[in-house]
Amino acid sequence: MLVNTKVLFKKAQEGHYAIPAANYLDMESIKNHVLLAEKLGLPLIVALAECHLGDNINLDDAALVARKYAKEASVPIVVHLDHGVNVATCKKAIDVGFTSVMIDASMKSFEENVATTAEVVEYAHARGVTVEAEIGHVASNFDESDQETLYTTAEEAAAFAEQSGCDSLAISIGTAHGVYKAKAIPEISFDSLAAIREATNIPLVLHGGSGSGDENLNKCARGGICKVNIYTDLYLAAMKALEEEDTSDYFKVRNAFQKGMNDCLAHYYKVFETKA
C-alpha cells in the first residue's frame, strides 16, 4: 500500500525500531526493493536522491513505477525524494506522486533553512505529503568538497522542528555518506542522540547508515532513530555478488545484482529490528 511517513514513524517511535530507506537508481531496483519488503512483510521507504536524477532515471518515471509497486504491495511503502536541494525539485516530486520529500537546506544558515523548509512544508502538507529536513550537516565521503560535518545540537533540533513544521528531522551525530576511509566504523555520539530525543518528539532520521556498524545502527534504532538511509552498502553488495557470477549471461548478471541487494537489505531489516 502506498503511504506517507506519518503513521509509520509514529509506530517506529513507539516500538523503538527503525525503517530502512533503500535508495534506488533504476526501475529494476525499485521493483526489487518493494518485492523483498513484501516477502518479509515489513514496511519500506524507497528513496531517490535528487543528485541521481539524469539520463538513467527521472522523477516522472520513478514516481510512476514506484507508485505502481507500492499500491500493489501488501505492506506500507513510502515513495520518497532524498536530499532534495532545490525547492522546485521537491514541488515537482510532490506533483508527480512522491508521498514524502526531503528538503536539504542544511548548509544554509539556520534562518534560511527554516524558511526554505517551511515553504516546502506548506506546499507538501496541502497535498498530503510529509517532509523531512536536516539540521546540522552529514558530510560526504563521495565529495572531497563536502568534508565539513556539523553536529546537531538538541537546542537547534527543537527550535528547528517547531519553527519549520517538518514531519521528520535528519540529524548529524557522527555518520557520513559513502564509504568510510580505511573502512573504519564511525564513532556515534549517542549522548547527542539522547539529548535530541529528550528535547523534541519529532521522528529522527539518520543518514550515512552504510558502513556505520551493526551495533551502532541497532543502538540508534533503539535510541530513537525511526529511519536509516542505506545506499552505498546496497550497491557494494550488488557488485560483490556480481564478481562471483558469470558475467557473460545478462540474466545471471541481473539476478546477481538482485540477490546482492536483497541479502543486504534483509540484513539491515534485522539490524534495525523493523516491525510490521
Kind and range of the H or E element at 101?
strand 100-103
- Name the grid cell of 27: 526501475
According to DSSP, the residues that pair with 77 across neighbouring strands are 2, 44
> Alpha helix locations (H) across 131-213?
154-164, 190-199
> Alpha helix locations (H) across 73-200?
87-96, 110-125, 154-164, 190-199
Q: Would you state the pLDDT for residue 181?
A: 53
Q: Would you state the pLDDT for residue 150?
A: 72
Summarised one tens digit per residue, pLDDT across range 167-190 is 999 998 876 644 445 455 667 889
Kind and range of the H or E element at 15?
helix 6-15
The CATH number of whichever domain residue 264 belongs to comes to: 3.20.20.70
- Name the grid cell of 146: 563536502
Q: Name residues whose C-beta falls within 8 Å of residue 265's C-beta, 6 or more positions apart in sequence.
A: 20, 22, 33, 36, 230, 234
Report the C-alpha gap between 125 and 276 in whole angstroms: 25
Residue numbers annotated as active site: 82
Give CA separation, 223 vs 61, 75, 177, 185, 275, in Å.
36, 25, 21, 19, 15
Report the C-alpha gap between 168 and 178 in whole angstroms: 22
Report the C-alpha gap between 18 and 11 in whole angstroms: 10
Residue type (1 letter), 61: D
Q: Would you state the pLDDT for residue 143?
A: 44
Contact 67, 101 (CB under 8 A): no
Q: What's the full length of the chain, in residues? A: 276
Q: Would you state the pLDDT for residue 78?
A: 98
Question: How many other CB atoms are found less than 10 A from the CB of residue 195?
Answer: 17
Does the pTM surpass 0.95? The reply is no
Q: How many domains does the chain have?
A: 1
Instruction: Determine the structural domain holding residue 60 and report its residue range.
Output: 2-272
Give CA separation, 49 vs 21, 32, 94, 184, 188, in Å.
11, 17, 14, 25, 24
Give CA separation, 11 vs 15, 64, 133, 258, 270, in Å.
6, 27, 20, 29, 17
Summarised one tens digit per residue, pLDDT across range 70-122 is 999 999 999 999 999 999 999 999 999 999 999 999 989 999 999 999 999 99
Q: Would you state the pLDDT for residue 141?
A: 45
> What are the phi and psi torsion angles at 226 (to 5°)?
-95, -20
Q: Would you state the pLDDT for residue 183?
A: 54
Given a cut of 50, the residues of the chain with pLDDT beneath it are 140-148, 177-180, 182
Report the C-alpha gap between 121 and 119 in whole angstroms: 5
